[in-house]
Structure 1
Amino acid sequence: MFNKQHYLITVLLLLMLIVSACGNASTNQSTNTAPDATSSDDTNQSATTSPPAEENASTITYQSENGPIEIPANPTRIVALASAPNVISLGGTVVGVDEWTMGNPLFTDKLDGVTVVSEANPESIMDLNPDLIIAGAHMSNLEQLEKIAPTVVYTWGKLDYLEQQIEIGKLLNKEEEAKAWADSFKQRTEAIGKEIKANYGDNVSVSVFEVDAQNNFYVFGNNWARGTEILYQAMGLAMPEKVEQDALGPGYYTLSQEVLPEYAGDFIVLSLGLSPNNEFLNSEVWNNIPAVKNKQIIEIDTRASSYSDPITLDYLTTIFEEGFLGKKK
């Protein structure tokens, strides 16, 4: 016989079991999910407040020739009033350069959209919103430039051409890349120099002449661009006695056309492109120089040869290798 009281007790017990099971399920779900959420929040907070310095530092301290200066770790808007070609060779992002760099044919395709600026007009530099400015120690308005962005200055000639490239590498956080290029360049040019001497003798000499827009003549020492660093320092070729006497110290020496033969070496590197006529090439003085008679003249473009950065040096090394050895790259 159906016992109504027993039935009600059974139903109540079942309901209690169901409620208890639901409560345990809810408790277990809270226990399983909450720690994960907390762990994720802690991880995010840690990444935000305590980032690894070497990965996320926005600035670094650069030891400039004027003392330590705080600069962007990875500058993205560089105004290069000096050393622009060195910066470009390392892939630096320039937004402003000097007029001479802009007019250099080696950099035309690398300066699309870049503005020509001058230290004489700091406002034009400010308009570019740079995060790093590179200038020469001799330039004016340096104090105004320093108010616009961190400004690093270099004294021309204080470092040699390879040291300068490595120093720009330090500035752009690309020191190892700069060192690798310098090592490779030294090995390549030394080998070419040895081959030139093997062909023409250990004392084979070379002069570097230039004629400007006013038909003034110059001869260069061993550190005045136009490939002089390559020829005399890297390849170890000889400098004529008169060139050493008058041009080695100051870097260059102004000549008259009549005395060109006195400064001419076995080879002549002739920097052309500024003079409107180059009439001297037809003169008796020029054509009686032994190097001219022997067709040992290597012509270079002045506008493409006035720096000593990797792009320029690699370009001129190729020209010199072909000019001395007849090797085309």
Structure 2
Amino acid sequence: MLIKKSLALLSLAIILVLTGCSAQNTAEKQAQKPEYIATDATGSKVELDSKPKKIVSLMPSNTETLYRLGVGKNVIGVTSSDDYPAAVKKVPVVATTEINVEKIIGMKPDLVLGHASTMMYSKDSYDQIKKANIPLFIVEDAQDFDTAYKTFTQIGDLTGTTTEANKLVSSMEATDKQIREEAKKRVKTKAKVWLEISPDLYTAGKGTFINEMLTNIQATNIVSEEGYPQYNEEQVIKAAPDVIITIYPNAKEAIAKRSAWKNIPAVKNNRIYEIDPSIVSRPGPRLIEGQEAIFEAVYPE
């Protein structure tokens, strides 16, 4: 009887050990399940087992977002166009007009953030990065605030900063709401605005951040076409804008000297303003600052 009891206890002990091992294995498997997941602009799902400690950013807006989310210290490679924040100037450059794939692979990053706007001429480079088994996430080419907010959240999900991304979006939405409400109070007659991107009269129309910003502040864009069309002088003169906004250096002086434009209200009244292009066209966290800048230029208190 004693022997049977001992055997029963031994069997129970073995079962408990095996059950414990099984539970441990299950827990380990669950812990190994990818927690940092997002689906990129190409429809590919990127899954990371742990927070990326080494990140390469191939677009200035991606870089700004990473720094704003508090993971700038993890950025180990950027493009030659990255200029904000100041700390990014100390980060190694891995892309100029072309992506230095060998340099990126040699860095062994945990995550590379590409961008849909460069797919046409960077596809081969992106493919090589993927073949090297380096996680690559193609960020959507945002042209409106809602899509930009989506990309912030996706980058947050991949880098373990979802909470920070949600706070960023909430803050920008709150500021946007304040600007819209103030615009409705302040604006009695909508100002007509001409946005000049370059001296050869390329501008911004529907489906662009600048057009959305003008709409949000109760202003009228004289451009009705989609995207970034090129205008001629006659079109601008005929539209008679009240305000001219430019995003390239020394534009104000050059525009003021155009003899054919002397009777345009914006020129006559010296209402030509230069704004930093990175805050009105770069799909990053400073977009709301761009909207504020345009609002104060078009409707100064």
Tell me the distance in 2 between the aligned counterparts of 1:162 and 1:264: 34
SS of alignment partner, residue 143 of structure 1: helix
Kindly indicate whether the alpha-carbon contact (under 8 Å) linking 1:87 and 1:168 is maintained by their aligned counterparts in 2: yes
User: Normalised by the size of structure 1, how large is the TM-score?
Assistant: 0.67
| CA positional deviation for 1:188 | 1.9
Residue 255 (structure 1) aligned to one of 228, 231, 234 = 231
1:316 aligned onto 2:290? yes
Tell me the distance in 2 between the aligned counterparts of 1:315 and 1:132: 29
| CA positional deviation for 1:258 | 4.2
Residue 271 (structure 2) aligned to one of 293, 296, 311 = 296
Matched with 2:5 is none
1:251-305: per-residue Cα shift (whole Å, max 9, x none)?
1111234432245543322212287x96333112333211232333332133554
1:285 aligned onto 2:264? no
Residue 221 (structure 1) aligned to one of 202, 205, 230 = 205
| CA positional deviation for 1:202 | 5.5
Equivalent AA in structure 2 for residue 140 of structure 1 = K
Tell me the distance in 2 between the aligned counterparts of 1:61 and 1:198: 43
Residue 152 (structure 1) aligned to one of 115, 119, 137 = 137
| CA positional deviation for 1:111 | 0.3
Residue 210 (structure 1) aligned to one of 197, 201, 204 = 197
| CA positional deviation for 1:114 | 1.0
Alpha carbons of structure 1 residues 261 and 174: separation in structure 2 relative to 1, 3 Å: farther
1:67 aligned onto 2:44? yes
Equivalent AA in structure 2 for residue 271 of structure 1 = I
Kindly indicate whether the alpha-carbon contact (under 8 Å) linking 2:36 and 2:158 is maintained by their aligned counterparts in 1: no
5+ unaligned residues in a row in structure 1: which ranges? 1-45
Tell me the distance in 2 between the aligned counterparts of 1:126 and 1:224: 34
Alpha carbons of structure 1 residues 89 and 198: separation in structure 2 relative to 1, 3 Å: same
Q: Tell which structure's C-alpha radius of gyration is larger.
A: 1
Percent identity of equivalent pairs: 23
Kindly indicate whether the alpha-carbon contact (under 8 Å) linking 2:194 and 2:236 is maintained by their aligned counterparts in 1: no
Equivalent AA in structure 2 for residue 154 of structure 1 = V
Query: For residues 256-275 of structure 1, what are the structure 2 equivalents within 5 Å?
Result: 256-263=232-239, 265-273=241-249
Alpha carbons of structure 1 residues 270 and 162: separation in structure 2 relative to 1, 3 Å: same
- The total of aligned residue pairs comes to 264
Tell me the distance in 2 between the aligned counterparts of 1:90 and 1:223: 27
SS of alignment partner, residue 252 of structure 1: coil
1:185-233: per-residue Cα shift (whole Å, max 9, x none)?
223223223333433326333332222xxx32211024444x444333x
Matched with 1:115 is 92
SS of alignment partner, residue 91 of structure 1: coil
Alpha carbons of structure 1 residues 171 and 274: separation in structure 2 relative to 1, 3 Å: farther
Tell me the distance in 2 between the aligned counterparts of 1:321 and 1:172: 33
Tell me the distance in 1 between the aligned counterparts of 2:287 and 2:67: 13
SS of alignment partner, residue 160 of structure 1: helix
User: Which stretch shows the higher mean deviation, 258-267 or 76-85?
Assistant: 258-267
Equivalent AA in structure 1 for residue 213 of structure 2 = I
SS of alignment partner, residue 220 of structure 1: coil
SS of alignment partner, residue 208 of structure 1: strand
Tell me the distance in 1 between the aligned counterparts of 2:243 and 2:68: 30
Kindly indicate whether the alpha-carbon contact (under 8 Å) linking 1:204 and 1:266 is maintained by their aligned counterparts in 2: yes
Tell me the distance in 2 between the aligned counterparts of 1:235 and 1:177: 27
Equivalent AA in structure 2 for residue 127 of structure 1 = G
Q: CA RMSD in A?
A: 3.3
Alpha carbons of structure 1 residues 166 and 296: separation in structure 2 relative to 1, 3 Å: farther
1:166 aligned onto 2:153? yes
User: Normalised by the size of structure 2, how large is the TM-score?
Assistant: 0.73
Matched with 2:4 is none
Kindly indicate whether the alpha-carbon contact (under 8 Å) linking 1:72 and 1:132 is maintained by their aligned counterparts in 2: no
| CA positional deviation for 1:52 | 10
Deviation beyond 4 Å, 4+ runs, structure 1: 46-54, 56-59
Alpha carbons of structure 1 residues 285 and 88: separation in structure 2 relative to 1, 3 Å: farther
